[in-house]
């Protein structure tokens, strides 16, 4: 016969396993692990850093607009980055930036940061703010279908 004691022990066993799995996932996703990030996590981090919610529409304007220099983000990534872009200087193909069309995108904070830094310097003449990065990423995440 199953006593309350047995049942509690069983229950404890059952609840301990998922907790262990969760702990494993957290430790595997620690700093320095490639592909531990997701676009949603990066977006939340940028928005928190900016101190305000991201605005996808503002992100689209930022991405497709000029910022007093020769290039826009869209010059290389295309105005609809659900498709491949083409480097404005070298002509090299650039895989889609929208994460729904390229699962590698925004899965590594260091990589995203490196390219934001380089590309914002080219397009805006300075690094992008956390708010600008949050807006652009929020817009990219909304792109789910090819127009
Ligand atoms: C002169 C061409 C060029 C311009 C202009 C440009 N990019 Fe890029 N971008 C690249 C290239 C090249 C890569 C790296 C190759 C790749 O990842 O496909 C890249 C990669 C990125 C990534 C990396 C994403 C990831 O996690 O994989 C981000 C973010 C990005 N660009 C954002 C922007 C934003 C925002 C702008 C405008 C401020 C911009 N880019 C303008 C060429 C450009």
Class of the 38-142 domain?
A: mainly alpha
Q: Is the CB of 105 under 6 A from ligand 1?
A: yes
Domain boundaries, the chain: 1-28, 38-142
What pLDDT was estimated at residue 125?
98
Contact partners, residue 63, CB within 8 Å, separation at least 6: 72, 73, 74, 77, 79, 81, 136, 139
Q: Is the CB of 133 under 6 A from ligand 1?
A: no
Please tell me the distance between residue 95's alpha carbon and the centre of ligand 1 in angstroms.
Answer: 10
Separation between Cα atoms, residue 59 and residue 49, nearest integer Å:
16
Query: Taking 90 as the threshold, does the pLDDT of residue 15 lie above it?
Result: no
What pLDDT was estimated at residue 145?
84
**Shortest-distance Cα residue to atom 19 of ligand 1:** 115
Please tell me the distance between residue 52's alpha carbon and the centre of ligand 1 in angstroms.
Answer: 24
75-78: long-range contacts at Cβ-Cβ below 8 A with a sequence spacing of 24 or more? Answer: 75/123, 76/119
- Higher-confidence residue of 147 and 81: namely 81
The alpha carbon of residue 56 and the mean position of all alpha carbons in its chain are separated, in whole angstroms, by 13
**Shortest-distance Cα residue to atom 27 of ligand 1:** 105
Q: Kindly report, residue by residue over 31-83, the tens digit of the pLDDT.
A: 444 457 999 999 999 999 999 999 999 999 999 999 999 999 999 999 999 99
Q: What is the pTM of this model?
A: 0.82
Q: Kindly report, residue by residue over 81-131, the tens digit of the pLDDT.
A: 999 999 999 999 999 999 999 999 999 999 999 999 999 999 999 999 999
């Amino acid at each position: 016969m199953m006593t309350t004691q047995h049942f509690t022990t069983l229950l404890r066993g059952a609840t301990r396993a998922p907790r262990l799995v969760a702990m494993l996932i957290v430790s595997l996703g620690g700093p320095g692990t490639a592909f531990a990030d997701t676009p949603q996590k990066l977006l939340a981090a940028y928005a928190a850093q900016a101190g305000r919610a991201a605005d996808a529409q503002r992100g689209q304007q930022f991405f497709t607009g000029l910022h007093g220099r020769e290039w826009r983000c869209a010059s290389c990534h295309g105005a609809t980055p659900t498709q491949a872009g083409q480097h404005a200087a070298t002509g090299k193909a650039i895989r889609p930036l929208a994460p729904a069309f390229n699962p590698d995108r925004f899965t590594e904070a260091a990589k995203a940061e490196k390219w934001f830094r380089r590309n914002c310097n080219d397009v805006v003449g300075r690094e992008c703010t956390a708010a600008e990065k949050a807006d652009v990423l929020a817009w990219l995440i909304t792109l789910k279908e090819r127009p």
